[in-house]
Amino acid sequence: MNYHRFKLPEAYCPKCSRKVELLFSEETSALPQFYICFKCKTIGQFGLGELSANEFPAFSTERKKEIKEIIEEIPDKYKYKAQGSQLRLEEKSDTYTRRWLSLYEYEKAFGEELGFETIDFREDKRLCKWCNQPLEGRRRSFCSDRCSRNYGKATFFKRGISTLPYRIASRDRFYCRITGEDLAITNRFGVRIPASNQQLEIHHLIFVSNGGSDHETNLLTVSKQVHKEYHKGEINTVQAVEKIKAEQLLRHSDKMYTKK
Ligand SMILES: [Zn+2]
Ligand SMILES: [Zn+2]
Ligand SMILES: [Zn+2]
């Protein structure tokens, strides 16, 4: 059974008040059914609170068994490593999304800022970033507040990707570094917008499980397809990625590994 983790801004653990994450099941309803708190290692159900393994009468026997397994498995799949409460997932399992460093943690870990914040895909800067219509007067980015809001929604509130990977994607201009596939969304005006089209993934050249860091020199924007091929060992993809890795290691090996 595959569960996917999501962060919800206003979900707090009822036990220790730390932010919790939601678990969505692939196979059953689309509703969030569980939360997990990585501080006190509690798994609970929204509306019901903490679940003890044998206390969910509403579920079928089969489902109870599944949930029991989830509860037993999840906390062990994670381990706390080094700086702060940074949570790391073993790369072996691709079922869960690991938590990325925040920009603050990034700066602390590497002693430098991560750039690539503002990205502007426009070739003609006299056109609106959202609707491609000519800008009037002193307007520089958007023809109207409405366009500005829509752009903000797409590139920030709904971008569905953490800040660090977003900046890596921005560095790579939302193209797959291996195939050149376009991984940005195109809006209803036919304008390319810096937000993931859901096919965008970030690969660690040195795996996290081998001590690879979140430093930008260790990260590569790739398409879902390429990422899958690489981890399956598809020869052409592996060669293309390994070539980039070798080049990066020549110059940046110190940053590409997490300091012990
Ligand atoms: Zn808690
Ligand atoms: Zn506009
Ligand atoms: Zn990868």
| pLDDT over 90 (residue 92) | no
225 with 174, same domain? Answer: yes
Closest by CA to 169, choosing from 241, 214, 97, 221, is 221
How many structural domains comprise the chain?
A: 2
Strand partners for 12: 19
173 with 73, same domain? Answer: no
- Average pLDDT, integer, range 239-255: 95
| pLDDT over 50 (residue 90) | no
**Ligand 2 center to residue 87 CA distance, Å?**
41
pLDDT of residue 37: 73
pLDDT of residue 74: 44
110 with 238, same domain? Answer: yes
**Ligand 2 center to residue 205 CA distance, Å?**
39
Alpha carbon distance 26, 35 (integer Å): 15
Q: pLDDT per residue over 180-202, tens digit each?
A: 999 999 999 999 999 999 899 99
pLDDT of residue 60: 65
**Ligand 1 center to residue 241 CA distance, Å?**
39
pLDDT of residue 7: 58
Domain boundary among 89, 116, 143: 89
| pLDDT over 60 (residue 29) | no
- Report the SS3 class of residue 179: coil
% residues pLDDT > 70 (the chain): 60
Q: pLDDT per residue over 32-78, tens digit each?
A: 456 677 676 667 665 555 544 344 445 567 766 665 565 554 433 33
**Ligand 1 center to residue 172 CA distance, Å?**
37
144 with 224, same domain? Answer: yes
Q: Beta-carbon neighbour count of residue 142 at 10 Å?
A: 19
| pLDDT over 80 (residue 204) | yes
114 with 230, same domain? Answer: yes
45 with 109, same domain? Answer: no
84 with 141, same domain? Answer: no
Is 97 part of any domain? no
CB 184 within 8 A of CB 197: yes
122 with 240, same domain? Answer: yes
3-state secondary structure 69-111: HHHHHHHHHEEECCCCCCEEECCCCCCCCCCCCCHHHHHHHHC
181 with 135, same domain? Answer: yes
Lowest mean pLDDT among 12-21, 94-103, 189-198: 94-103
| pLDDT over 50 (residue 89) | no
Nearest ligand, measured from the Cα of 188? 2
Alpha carbon distance 7, 142 (integer Å): 30
- Average pLDDT, integer, range 204-228: 91
Domain, as residue range, for 112: 103-256
Domain boundary among 64, 89, 114: 89
119 with 68, same domain? Answer: no
ipTM: 0.65
| pLDDT over 70 (residue 26) | no
Lowest mean pLDDT among 28-37, 38-47, 109-118, 207-216: 28-37
154 with 248, same domain? Answer: yes
Residues with CB under 5 A from ligand 2 (ion): 128, 130-131, 143, 147
pLDDT of residue 15: 67
25 with 146, same domain? Answer: no
Which comes out higher in pLDDT, residue 97 or 218?
218
% residues pLDDT > 90 (the chain): 40
